[in-house]
Amino acid sequence: MNKAFWGLLGTLLGLWFAPQASAQVVQNYWQCVAPSGSNPQGAWCPVNNSNPMPVTASTTVVAFAPTGAASLNAGVTTSNVALGSVGPTAIVSNASTSVDAFVAFGNGSVTTTLTTGIRVPAGSSIAFNVGSNTNMAAITASSTAQLYIGTGTGLPALAGGGTGGGGGGGAVTVADGADSAEGAKADAACGTPTGTCSVIALLKFLNTQAAASIPAGSNLIGGVNISQLGGTAIAPDACQLNARTSTSINISTATTTRLVAPAAAKKTYICGLFLFSAGTQNVGIVEGTGGTCGTSTAGVIGGTTAATGPNLTAQTGFVLPNTGYAQAATAGTNVDFCLITSAAVQVSGVLQWVQQ
């Protein structure tokens, strides 16, 4: 009994003090620097996310080689046909211009539905990896679609899909109306911009709206004349709306000179004015009637006389710049526009004006 006790105790103590095994971590390395004359061993780098180990591989792509053919006139009831040969590649071409087909592959009893079948749009071809399946089933939602099935080996080159399904192939021709979302050229214009119409129908709606007259009372944005702003139309400035006329000023006596003749029911707008006097001169800038503003005289700039107009010293003048807006205007319509000079001193300049 004592021997058994001490033997058990020794075993337990041995297990207690024995070093515990820990999980081992394996770190992979790859030769990131090739050996050379000065570095015969090269260098080895640990493999991690920021330092991945490069892998080089190659593959050979074999072009499609046909070995069999079959056809199926698909209708609204599921039907199937035996493939011309055992694949593994099958190319299904839908010769219909308006009816999509839905296909599935299997054995001699294979069937399909509109929800479980793979859609082959009208006027298109799709390649399948059918493996060891021997038959294809097809169905349509309406009418019939003639399907042609070519079987063989390798990767086919289909228009628009590129060889082996990658990248740039040739041109794709989609039959008119084949895409129900896009619609057909014969679709009528949609009734509203939010209607559940095809893309072509919505485009026809937008084209009709763009060509139509603008409804009365609509706000116009971006036009020269904004038709509605608080209910009042905005009229452009006379000097912007009308072609401007330039009249030369050449006066050397104390007199009244008419620069602009009256126009029925129109005011005269001063778009720009430059005056320069050789000597001391007072200039009245007035409107009136009678041919030289002799009656119904009123000041346009200043008063009704030379003394109450701009007073110029020798060798001075002034400018009302042509900013595109009227700088001054007559108060009345159908009136003369005149300058009154106070002295026999040369006054030169130019007047730009419009009448409206």
In a domain, 165, yes or no: no
Number of domains in the chain: 2
Give yes or no: residues 147 and 249 share one domain: no
What pLDDT does 164 receive? 41
Residues 152 and 243 in one domain: no
* Last-in-domain residue among 156, 182, 214: 156
pLDDT at 31: 74
Domain assignment present for 13: no
Q: Domain of 128: which CATH number?
A: 2.60.120.10
Domain identity same for 243 and 152: no
34 within domain boundaries:
no
How do residues 219-248 score in pLDDT, each as one tens digit? 555 554 555 455 556 678 999 999 999 999
Confidence of residue 125 (pLDDT cuts 50, 70, 90): very high
- Which comes out higher in pLDDT, residue 222 or 301? 301
Say which range, 78-87, 242-251, 281-290, has the weakest mean pLDDT: 78-87
Q: The domain spanning residue 304 has which CATH number?
A: 2.60.120
Q: Read off the pTM.
A: 0.40
Q: What is the domain range of residue 125?
A: 65-156
pLDDT exceeding 90 applies to what percent of the chain? 56
pLDDT in tens, 39-70: 777 777 888 887 787 777 677 777 888 999 99
Rounded CA separation 105/32 (Å)? 49
Taking only the tens place, the pLDDT of each residue in 92-105 is 999 999 999 999 99
> Is 33 inside a domain boundary?
no
In this model, does residue 130 exceed pLDDT 50? yes
Output the pLDDT for position 219. Answer: 57
Question: Is residue 5 assigned to a domain?
Answer: no
What is the rounded average pLDDT of the residues 300-322? Answer: 96
The secondary structure of 206-228 as a DSSP string is HHHHHHSPPPTTPPP-SSSS-S-
**Is residue 173 one of the residues assigned to a domain?**
no
Residue type, 269: Y
Domain boundary among 126, 156, 186: 156
Integer CA distances (angstroms), 122 to 99, 114, 165, in order: 5, 15, 19
User: Do the Cβ atoms of 226 and 220 come closer than 8 Å?
Assistant: yes
User: What phi, psi does 241 have (nearest 5°)?
Assistant: -80, -30
Q: Are residues 149 and 254 in the same domain?
A: no
Taking only the tens place, the pLDDT of each residue in 154-207 is: 888 765 443 344 444 455 566 666 666 788 888 888 888 777 788 888 888 888
Residues 253 and 147 in one domain: no
Which residue, chain included where needed, has tokens 């080089």?
56
In a domain, 174, yes or no: no
Measure the CA–CA gap between 251 and 318, rounded to whole angstroms: 16
Of 135, 156, 177, the domain-final residue: 156
> Which is more confidently placed, 280 or 154?
280
pLDDT of residue 43: 78
